[in-house]
Amino acid sequence: MKQLIQSFKTGETILEEVPAPQVARGQVLVRTTRSLVSLGTERMLVEFGKANLVQKARQQPDKVKQVLEKIKTEGLMPTLEAVFNKLAQPLPLGYCNVGKVIAVGEGVSEFKVGDRVASNGPHAEIVCVPQNLVAAIPANVSDDEAVFTVIGSIGLQGIRLCNPTLGETIVVTGLGLIGMITAELLLANGCRVIGIDLDAEKIALARKKGIIGINPAEGADVVKSVLDETQGRGADGVIITASAKTDEIISQAARMSRKRGRIILVGVIGLNISRAEFYEKELTFQVSCSYGPGRYDEEYEQRGVDYPLPFVRWTEKRNFEAILQAVSSRKLDVASLITERVPLDEYDRVYGSIGKSRAIASILVYSEDADPRHTVYVLPAISFAGKKGVWGIIGAGNFTKMTMLPALEKAKADIKYIASAGGITGTALAKKYKIALSTTDYQEILRDRETDGVMITTRHNTHAAMVLKALAAGKHVFVEKPLALNEDELDQVIDAYDGSVTLTVGFNRRFSPHVQKVKQLVGNTPMNVIATMNAGAIPSNVWVHDMKVGGGRIIGEACHFIDLITYLTGSKITAVCMNAMGIHPAENTDNASILLQYENGSTGVINYFSNGSKAYPKERIEVYSQDRTAVIDNYKQTTGYGFRGFSKLKTTLDKGHKAQFQALINSIRNGGAPLIPFDEIVNTTRASFAAVRSLQQSGWVRLDQVKVAAPVATEPAEALQ
């Protein structure tokens, strides 16, 4: 199928051939008939993409600060690679979509095949959208009208925050598409509406709709004009739908408002606010968030957990429905806003001049012959016949892009497939790394007889299930940590693994030259190891903290360091004790100390902290054995104390990824022992479960006592990302 994407690196807009998405639980698959170009939002994206690096940096000073901090902790070259990888990532354009349902996922009862629906899907021939971002279209509303649903909801949410009452005077600053819809909805609400814009044509259209138009370009003093229109009282509310860098707009809004007036920001403007202007009138200022309540809430959007109507009357989905009802009842006239209808293949008629366009609404029109295939050939000339060690990759997220694929390229790996949920990222990576096929159906990889192994880098809650399917298909498996999120999943993997293929978990630290050197120096004698992780904070709403999806950072991330200490000691863990910061720490804590006991008498301590300074190195490993000490400082420097013939090893940052993947590729091509013994993988995984159980029980937990119950989990829409 075809989809419009934009390069942040060049600003170029491209109609790309990508695999069609697959419908998952809680989702709706739609064949698009119309999509609306949001000229304001998409103009900003295109202009940002076309800017040079210096201009991009000036537009995002907060990102520049993050880059400088990353340089301090990880070095210049890794940081530059990360920045350029980010800029090279294709961006799907569009968020106003209309089409017909062609499939529904498990758990979706509201929609059926053939229904006409509006959603926030992108400019693509086939889109897959969570059910809470889809609304049914009334029979008397055309596709051309329904395509305004989502963008109309942005304006509607601004109105809901303003809370206008019958007879109030509300100013709308900026009569672009959102502003025009906002003004017309306010009229339908019984308000007196004043619209401000620099475009004479938009002012003329507004006046036709009954809006009082003010054009500063014609010499009008907007503040005086509003005060004159309100007999000197000022506006009851101001809704700003403009896009500009100037602070003058917010200042004007304050000066034209009545005492205790409301100002709502829907657009993007400069926000250096004069305290005096707001203080004297006790003005209320609020920024509106997109379509309404539920936006950016993963529980609501991705998992379909609705907010109860008696407590949250207007969610984003219910705002969609309200816009459609307003169009259906002819309270909202969007047809008059349509400037042009353009076939998808002729998209450049819109995007080629988007920076200069004076259009209000441009609609892309789709044909009905979209290619529904889930797999597309990116490089069809590549042959894998007779090759040994051919791989398919499942997952196209940051780890795949920034770490795994560069390492595999250096290892000269033969990669036939890459699977991603949406198809865009996978296709872009396939082109960059000369991968033959991009797919949204990872089981296509498992069915392919030429593919010897799979690499799984999806979200944590999908790992065990995918490993089981790959083992059943007779494939070698590499899976990023963790292998499983609970004992039930681990038991299933143990039962399925018979040793006929290899199973490797991405415990890369043991392959670092610094760890290898320390292992060579200390051997397998009993030792004490202290591993300190200055892990950094991750916002609490990020999926890694969700025990059902990410497993928390102890199971999901600290397992790296359990494996590292196990490798250094050359022994098995017998018991674990974990203590965490706080009076009643949660099981998904990321400020904890873990104690490990080993069969050979060794001990390990893992200090996994998220509350440290970014200026301090991220990882430090200390090994004490037989009057000798080795210290690994962030995999850049290892210092030895008391070792004959060794004092220091210095390298660039090397966490072992390159060596790990080189060894993996060689192992499958040439044969040999597994990179990590399976019993060590199981021991490490059980130890991470024991750490969580120890926190729950406030004491030591022996590994033979571990049992972490399986939470109810689903495979989310973005599982392959």
If residue 96 lies in a helix (H) or strand (E), which one and from where to where?
none
What is the structure's pLDDT at 577? 98
- φ/ψ region of 587 (left if φ > 0, alpha if ψ in -120 to 50, else beta) reads alpha
**Other CB atoms within 10 Å distance of the CB of residue 5:** 23
The residues facing 135 across adjacent strands are: 118
The pLDDT-based confidence of 38 (bands split at 50, 70, 90) is confident
- What's the count of helices (H) and strands (E) in the chain, helices before strands? 25, 32
pLDDT digits (tens, 9 = 90+) for 379-412: 887 889 889 999 999 999 999 999 999 999 999 9
pLDDT digits (tens, 9 = 90+) for 320-354: 999 999 999 999 999 999 999 999 999 999 998 87
* 566 has pLDDT over 80: yes
Average pLDDT for the chain: 92
Q: Where are the beta strands (DSSP E) in 305-456?
A: 338-343, 361-365, 375-377, 390-394, 414-419, 437-439, 453-456
Q: How far apart are CA 100 and CA 115, in angstroms?
A: 5
Pair of tokens at residue 489: 């999943």
* 255 has pLDDT over 70: yes
CA torsion through residues 142, 144, 147, 148, sign: negative
The pLDDT-based confidence of 7 (bands split at 50, 70, 90) is confident
| Stated length of the chain | 721
Q: How far apart are CA 397 and CA 376, in angstroms?
A: 19
What is the structure's pLDDT at 59? 62
What is the structure's pLDDT at 712? 45
Pair of tokens at residue 410: 């250096």
Residue 268: exposure state from Cβ atoms within 10 A (0-12, 13-18, ≥19): middle
Return the higher-pLDDT residue of 53 and 333.
333
* 305 has pLDDT over 50: yes
The pLDDT-based confidence of 717 (bands split at 50, 70, 90) is very low
The pLDDT-based confidence of 80 (bands split at 50, 70, 90) is low
Cα 485 to Cα 197, 546, 557, 614, 692: the distances in Å are 55, 11, 11, 29, 11
In Å, the largest CA–CA distance within the chain is 91
Q: How far apart are CA 527 and CA 514, in angstroms?
A: 17
Picking from 314-323, 375-384, 452-461, 676-685, which range would have the lowest pLDDT averaged per residue? 375-384
Instruction: Using the structure block, give the residue that is written with the tokens 């101001």.
Output: 238
CA torsion through residues 691, 695, 696, 697, sign: positive
* 599 has pLDDT over 50: yes
Cα 475 to Cα 249, 496, 500: the distances in Å are 61, 12, 9
CA angle 435, 440, 444 (to 5 degrees): 75
The torsion angles phi and psi of 292, rounded to 5 degrees, stand at: 135, -175
Cα 248 to Cα 266, 270, 274, 287, 587: the distances in Å are 16, 8, 10, 17, 49
* 548 has pLDDT over 70: yes
Which amino acid is located at 639 in the chain?
A: T
The pLDDT-based confidence of 552 (bands split at 50, 70, 90) is very high
Start-to-end CA distance of the chain, whole Å, equals 19
Cβ pair 636, 597 in contact under 8 A: no
648-650 and 375-377 beta bridge pairing = unpaired
Question: Coil, strand or helix: which one is 371?
Answer: coil
The pLDDT-based confidence of 718 (bands split at 50, 70, 90) is very low
Question: Coil, strand or helix: which one is 625?
Answer: strand
* 713 has pLDDT over 60: no
The pLDDT-based confidence of 650 (bands split at 50, 70, 90) is very high
Sketch out the chain's domains with CATH numbers: 2-148+334-365 (3.90.180.10), 151-287 (3.40.50.720), 386-505 (3.40.50.720), 508-705 (3.30.360.10)
Cβ pair 239, 181 in contact under 8 A: no
The torsion angles phi and psi of 569, rounded to 5 degrees, stand at: -75, -25
Mean pLDDT value across residues 115-130: 98
pLDDT digits (tens, 9 = 90+) for 189-224: 999 999 999 999 999 999 999 999 999 999 999 999
What is the structure's pLDDT at 39? 79
What is the structure's pLDDT at 251? 98
What is the structure's pLDDT at 386? 84
* 438 has pLDDT over 60: yes
* 82 has pLDDT over 80: no
Task: Determine the distance from the C-alpha atom of residue 496 to the mean position of all C-alpha atoms in its chain, rounded to a whole number.
Answer: 32
What is the structure's pLDDT at 499? 94
Picking from 44-48, 386-390, 438-442, which range would have the lowest pLDDT averaged per residue? 44-48
Q: How far apart are CA 72 and CA 84, in angstroms?
A: 18
The torsion angles phi and psi of 198, rounded to 5 degrees, stand at: -90, -10
Task: Determine the distance from the C-alpha atom of residue 375 to the mean position of all C-alpha atoms in its chain, rounded to a whole number.
Answer: 23
Return the higher-pLDDT residue of 709 and 41.
41
Mean pLDDT value across residues 657-661: 98
If residue 116 lies in a helix (H) or strand (E), which one and from where to where?
strand 116-119
pLDDT digits (tens, 9 = 90+) for 466-486: 999 999 999 999 999 999 999
Return the higher-pLDDT residue of 409 and 71.
409
* 704 has pLDDT over 50: yes
* 40 has pLDDT over 90: no
Residue 551 per-residue DSSP state: -
Angle at which helix 487-496 crosses helix 463-472, to 10 degrees, equals 10
Cβ pair 509, 563 in contact under 8 A: yes
Share of the chain above pLDDT 70, in %: 91
Question: Coil, strand or helix: which one is 223?
Answer: helix
Cβ-based neighbours of 308, under 8 Å, separated by 6 or more: none
Model pTM score: 0.88
If residue 684 lies in a helix (H) or strand (E), which one and from where to where?
helix 678-697
The pLDDT-based confidence of 47 (bands split at 50, 70, 90) is low
